[in-house]
């Protein structure tokens, strides 16, 4: 697909009344992991990919973020042998935390046919400081075989169950994956071509803008903002473009906006910008 350039952001502005409204699921008003992108999304065993977690922090809690992988061949996570070494902990810089992950060499024999694709689970946990014991445990790097190490391994293997004991606020858990294969043409990520104009919307009004998406496959786009909301929780990408409508709230101010694009069979991309409600 050819690169789309020169897209115009501002297409039409309309008064909110009578034009529908914002989907409440697209408003980000608390800590949330917005996207976790692996670049590239599919790699060969023993090779690396860069993982970038994008985190929204509208309340300014300055979260700790932990990323870890779980390679399960039927006997639990291979990383459980030394769980503290399989985690990466940090605080996002400008909303992002990146690390490099190596695909397990042990998968070489499984994917050597050049056809098989295995998913390695990639978990991301964002928490206000001191809220999530698992992050503190991993940071302490407990000795392998200790009670603390076993507790950490249990959480990392099944964070959904472990998260049931965490508060409902100031915590966000996200699941994605890295694909491992030896295919000649591995999956690639979509490329987002953002609009060229700044995003500005009137108080209580809406604005439509267009984003280009370069990808060989079916994709869907999702919009999120800290002020107002988008007209839909999901948008269809048609002919390499997606038209999205952002509604401003009744309160003027700046807004963070994110657009996440996911391929039907994997691969993802995220775009973040700052808009204005005037």
Tokens for 80, please give them.
């459980």
Q: Which residues contact 66 (CB under 8 A, 6 or more apart)?
A: 87, 88, 89, 124, 125, 132, 134, 135, 138
**What was the pLDDT predicted at 270?**
98
Per residue in 102-159, pLDDT (tens digit) is: 999 999 999 999 999 999 999 999 999 999 999 999 999 999 999 999 999 999 999 9
Q: How confident is the model at residue 60 (pLDDT cuts 50, 70, 90)?
A: very high
What share of the chain has pLDDT > 70, as a percent?
93
- Which run of H or of E encompasses 108? helix 108-111
In contact, 159 and 87? CB cutoff 8 Å: no
**What was the pLDDT predicted at 85?**
78
Q: Which residue has the higher pLDDT, 73 or 257?
A: 257
- pTM score: 0.90
**What was the pLDDT predicted at 90?**
97
Mean pLDDT of the chain: 91
Q: How confident is the model at residue 55 (pLDDT cuts 50, 70, 90)?
A: very high
**What was the pLDDT predicted at 12?**
32
Per residue in 225-248, pLDDT (tens digit) is: 999 999 999 999 999 999 999 999
> How does DSSP classify residue 27?
B
Q: Which residue has the higher pLDDT, 255 or 13?
A: 255
**What was the pLDDT predicted at 5?**
28
pLDDT at 211 over 70: yes
Per residue in 62-82, pLDDT (tens digit) is: 999 999 999 988 877 888 788
**Cα 220 to Cα 242: distance, rounded to the nearest angstrom:** 9
**What was the pLDDT predicted at 9?**
31
**What was the pLDDT predicted at 78?**
83
Q: How confident is the model at residue 101 (pLDDT cuts 50, 70, 90)?
A: very high
Tokens for 78, please give them.
């291979």
How many CB atoms lie under 10 A from the CB of residue 37? 23
The pLDDT of 166-175, averaged and rounded, is 96
**What was the pLDDT predicted at 26?**
98
Residue 163, SS3 per DSSP: helix
The pLDDT of 95-106, averaged and rounded, is 95
**Cα 195 to Cα 271: distance, rounded to the nearest angstrom:** 11
The pLDDT of 196-216, averaged and rounded, is 97
**What was the pLDDT predicted at 13?**
35
All structural domains of the chain, each given as residue ranges with its CATH number in brackets, are 12-27+187-277 (2.60.40.10), 42-181 (2.60.40)
Closest CA to 50 of 88, 101, 8: 101
The pLDDT of 36-48, averaged and rounded, is 98
């Amino acid at each position: 697909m050819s690169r789309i350039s020169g897209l115009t952001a501002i297409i039409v502005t309309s008064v909110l009344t009578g034009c529908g409204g914002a989907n409440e699921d697209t408003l980000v008003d608390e800590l949330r992991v917005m996207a976790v992108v692996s670049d590239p999304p599919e790699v060969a065993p023993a090779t690396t990919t860069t993982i970038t977690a994008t985190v929204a922090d509208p309340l300014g809690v300055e979260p700790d973020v932990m990323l870890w992988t779980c390679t399960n061949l039927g006997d639990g996570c291979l990383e459980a042998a030394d769980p503290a070494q399989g985690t990466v902990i940090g605080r996002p810089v400008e909303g992002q935390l990146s690390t490099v992950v190596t695909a397990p060499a042990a998968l070489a024999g499984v994917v050597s046919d050049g056809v098989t694709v295995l998913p390695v689970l990639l978990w991301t946990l964002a928490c206000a400081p001191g809220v999530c014991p698992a992050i503190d445990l991993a940071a302490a790097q407990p000795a392998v075989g200790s009670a603390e190490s076993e507790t950490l391994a249990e959480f990392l293997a099944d964070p959904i169950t472990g998260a049931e004991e965490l508060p409902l606020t100031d915590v966000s858990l996200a699941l994605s994956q890295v694909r491992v294969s030896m295919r000649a043409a591995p999956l690639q990520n979509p490329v987002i071509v953002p609009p060229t104009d700044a995003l500005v919307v009137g108080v209580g009004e809406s604005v439509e803008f267009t984003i280009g998406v370069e990808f060989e496959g079916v994709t869907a786009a999702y919009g999120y903002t800290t002020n107002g909301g988008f007209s839909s929780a999901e948008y269809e990408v048609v002919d390499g473009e997606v038209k999205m409508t952002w509604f401003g709230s009744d309160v003027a101010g700046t807004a963070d906006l994110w657009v996440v694009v996911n391929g039907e069979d994997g691969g993802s991309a995220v775009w973040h910008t700052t808009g204005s409600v005037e």
